[in-house]
Structures are given as C-alpha cells and as structure tokens.
C-alpha cells in the first residue's frame, strides 16, 4: 500500500523576546532568542527559549539569525548552527507525528524540543543509556558544549583522553566503582611520572575528573565517592608583569616597517590598558564603544564570567586607535600576538633574568629565562592589575574592571614581590624612614 502525502501547516520562526522598538532605543540591551512553532490557528503556537541572548545590532531580523559578517559575537556560527538544528529536527519530528497520526499538542512540541536540546531523555531510550564511565562522561560533556567556552571544553575533553591513555598503559578498566584512594594515587603518579605534567596541570585534570564523578553521583551511578581525594595542591607559577615605563616603551616603539608586528603590539597593549582577557579585548569593535556622561568606554561582556564591564578609553588607547582610522585594532590570532610581542620585548632589550620554578614530573625544576621570553597575552592583564595596585587603586576598583570574583583570586595577579613589595609598602607611609 502506498502512503499518502499529508500537508502540514507547521511553521517555525525565531525572534527576540523584546520588541524591535525597545531594542532600537536600548542598543546595548541583550534579548533572549525565542523559537516560535505554529501548527494551526492563533491558539496553536508554542514559544521556546533557545538559551542564547543577542543585542539589536547583532541580530538579522530578515534571516532570523545572528549576523556573522559584522557581528562582534565570536561564536555566531555556533549559535546559528544550533538554531538550524532546532528548526530541522523539530520539523522532522512534526512530519513523523503527522505520519504516525499523533495529535500535535503544545505539550508534545515542548517535550520534543526538550529531547532535541538534551534537557529530557526519551523514555524509550532510558534503558539503552550505556553504563560506561567514558560514554557517560562524553555524553555529559557534549550536552554542556554549547554552554561553555571552547578552551574549557578542550580541557574537559583532554582529561578523558589522559584517563583513557592511563587505562591502556596500566591495562586496567575504569568504571563507576574505580574512584578510590588507591586508584587516584596511581593516576596521579601516572600523570607525574609517565606524562611528566606540571603540578598545576595535574590539579586541573583532577578537578575536571571530579566534575564527571559528581555528575555521576547526581544521576545515581556512584554512591558516596571519596571527593576529598580529588584535591591536588597547586603552586604559584613564576609570571611577570610589565611596569608602566616598559609599557610606554612598547607604545612608543616605531613598528611601521612591520604592520603585523605593529598590530600584535597594539592588541597586546589593549590588554594592558583595559585589564581584560585576550578573549575579551581581542573582540572589541566600534560597536563596543559607549558614552557614559561624556566618558567614552568600551562596553565588554566578558566571555568567561559573562560580566558586563565598561573600560575607559584612555589617551593611550586613543593613540592606538589613531593608527586604525580611530577604530579599535582588528582581530589577530592569539598565537600571532604571543610570537610578535616577544620579538618586541627583545628589540627593546627586556633582558632581565627571571628565575622560574615549577614542579614537573614530581620534581622541582628551576630555570633562568629572559624577561622578553615570558611576555604573552595574559601579561597585559596581569600588568594592568599590578600597576594599578602599586599606584594605590583599591582592589575593589581593579576587580571592577578585571572581573575577578574574589580578592583571593585577584591577588594571584599582583606581581610585586620581595624587595618590590617592601618598597611599595614603605612608600605608603606606614614606616617612619
């Protein structure tokens, strides 16, 4: 018997929660992207939150997608792919419901969307979920993929890769009952001796592994795991900052003979003058510029914390922007910034010998490096925090820009140590000298 093709009145569109008029008047306001599914009359409509927000200037009302050419959103393609997947899978499910002659209701559509987005596991598939630690962890990780930054996803995945390698080398099986003190001690020794990893890297792997174990506990797959054995102590690494004189030397250095190096220098300085992470200052465009009672600022939504911070556009930043038609310098890959800013430091003769110490492979490794060798994108952020701290700016004010959640974490960035810190404290007038 032939199947008869049946027509459907279903339609899907994406819109912003706030009205277009409201967003035109509040261009910095972000609005939730909402999926609308219509399957009949006015009373047969379902709205569903996609979980993503976007501002007026980054939303294409005609295409109903995030702009990808002029958007300041670095994951615009990821968001649009997610919206495409929602639309395709929901329309396929709707066609299947019609073919199966199932009555289409608002409850059915919302349940279907919950299954598509991973919020709900289909009842018929519950018994088929593999009770295997690696498959469980990978499924959990990919459910989180759209909600975490790419570098974080890579770190979480790297922990599973190390654990799989451990099972191959040690010829052991890892399941939900494996995580006792004996196992964790041996895994740590494997990372130290066999993989020759640094102490802080091992600590991150154990923290990531603990995340998987806690989720397994929440789902009833592990009973009372010994979480205290997942804690690995960390150490403060040797990291540098550049003082204001060194930063000024970098700013004034004529690099017009090498435009790529000049761009790398200017991108690095944006970190020195804003205190932002490279993922935040590297994406600044003219759309980020706002006027606060006559003060020009960059309004930045920090990728890691989602905090919104207004960074003043200083005279030094204006000097940088003058090289780019009074616009922020364009995007440059992190690798290019790191490679070129080291060369700039070498040109300027930043040859101070820095004694570094790191615990690697279970041993304390000491090495002398020249200061220019240690300059990287994060040095700019660290320099912003340290220089302003030494000038007497309160930790609270600096944290307002840096986005640190606690003073404890913030103080890890302050790099005036030993003689430098003693001089700084004395200069505050606490001693009669």
Output the pLDDT for position 144: 87
| Six-digit token string for 213 | 């174990």
Name the nearest CA neighbour of 383 among 230, 247, 284: 247
Nearest-10 Cα torsion for 114, 118, 123, 124: 120
pLDDT band of residue 403 (cuts 50, 70, 90) is confident
| Six-digit token string for 351 | 């040859």
Question: DSSP class of residue 417?
Answer: -
Name the least confident of 39-48, 250-259, 278-287: 39-48
Segment 143-154 shows an average pLDDT of 84
Output the pLDDT for position 128: 47
pTM of the model: 0.61
**Where does the chain hold its CATH 1.10.443.10 domain(s)?**
244-427
CB 279 within 8 A of CB 425: no
Q: How is domain 129-230 classified at the architecture level of CATH?
A: Orthogonal Bundle (1.10)
CA geometry: angle at 354 spanning 353 and 355, to 5°?
120
> Residue 91 and residue 110: Cα distance in Å, rounded?
13
Kindly tell me if the per-residue pLDDT of 2 is higher than 60: no
pLDDT in tens, 261-271: 999 999 999 99
Q: Where are the alpha helices (DSSP H) in 255-414?
A: 259-274, 278-281, 315-321, 334-347, 377-390, 395-402, 407-411
Q: Any residues with CB less than 8 A from the CB of 10 and at least 6 apart, and which?
A: 37, 38, 39, 91, 94
Over the chain, what is the mean pLDDT? 88
pLDDT in tens, 349-388: 999 999 999 999 889 999 999 999 999 999 999 999 999 9
pLDDT in tens, 204-226: 999 999 999 999 999 889 988 99
Q: What SS3 class is residue 317?
A: helix
pLDDT in tens, 302-350: 887 788 999 999 999 999 999 999 999 999 999 999 999 999 999 999 9
Q: Where is pLDDT greater, at 6 or 26?
A: 26
> Residue 209 and residue 155: Cα distance in Å, rounded?
11
CB 132 within 8 A of CB 221: no
Output the pLDDT for position 4: 45
| CATH fold for the domain made of 244-427 | hpI Integrase; Chain A (1.10.443)
């Amino acid at each position: 018997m032939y199947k008869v093709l049946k027509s459907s009145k279903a339609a899907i569109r994406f819109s912003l929660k706030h009205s277009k008029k409201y967003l035109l008047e509040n261009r910095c306001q972000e609005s939730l992207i909402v999926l609308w599914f219509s399957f009949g009359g006015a009373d047969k409509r379902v709205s569903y939150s996609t979980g993503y927000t976007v501002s007026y200037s980054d939303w294409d009302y005609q295409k109903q997608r995030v702009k990808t050419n002029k958007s300041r959103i670095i994951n615009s393609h990821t968001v649009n792919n997610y919206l495409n997947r929602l639309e395709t899978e929901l329309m396929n499910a709707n066609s299947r419901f019609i073919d199966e002659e199932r009555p289409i209701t608002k409850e059915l559509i919302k349940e279907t969307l919950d299954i598509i987005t991973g919020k709900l596991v289909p009842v018929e598939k519950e018994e088929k979920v593999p009770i295997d630690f690696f498959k469980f962890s990978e499924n959990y990780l990919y459910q989180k993929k759209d909600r975490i930054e790419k570098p974080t996803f890579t770190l979480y995945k790297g922990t599973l890769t190390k654990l799989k390698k451990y099972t191959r080398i040690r010829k052991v099986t890892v399941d939900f009952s494996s995580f006792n003190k004996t196992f964790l001690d041996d895994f740590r020794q494997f990372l130290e001796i066999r993989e020759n990893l640094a102490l802080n890297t091992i600590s991150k792997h154990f923290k990531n592994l603990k995340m998987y174990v806690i989720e397994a506990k929440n789902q009833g797959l592990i009973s009372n795991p010994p979480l205290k054995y997942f804690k690995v102590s960390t150490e403060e690494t040797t990291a540098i900052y550049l003082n204001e004189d060194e930063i000024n030397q970098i700013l004034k250095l004529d690099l017009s003979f090498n435009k790529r190096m000049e761009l790398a220098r200017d991108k690095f300085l944006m970190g020195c003058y804003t205190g932002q992470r490279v993922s935040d200052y590297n994406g600044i465009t003219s759309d980020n510029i706002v006027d606060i009672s006559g003060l020009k600022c960059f309004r930045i939504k920090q990728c890691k914390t989602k905090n919104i911070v207004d960074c003043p556009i200083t005279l030094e930043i204006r000097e940088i922007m003058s090289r780019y038609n009074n616009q922020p310098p364009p995007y440059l890959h992190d690798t290019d910034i790191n490679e070129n800013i080291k060369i700039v430091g070498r040109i300027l003769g930043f040859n101070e010998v820095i004694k570094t110490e790191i615990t690697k492979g279970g041993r304390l490794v000491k090495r002398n490096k020249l200061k220019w060798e240690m300059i990287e994108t994060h040095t700019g952020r660290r320099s912003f925090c340290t220089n302003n701290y030494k000038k007497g700016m309160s930790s609270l004010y600096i944290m307002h820009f840096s986005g640190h959640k606690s003073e404890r974490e913030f103080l890890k960035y302050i790099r005036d140590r030993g003689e430098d810190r003693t001089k700084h404290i004395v200069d505050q007038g606490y001693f009669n000298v």
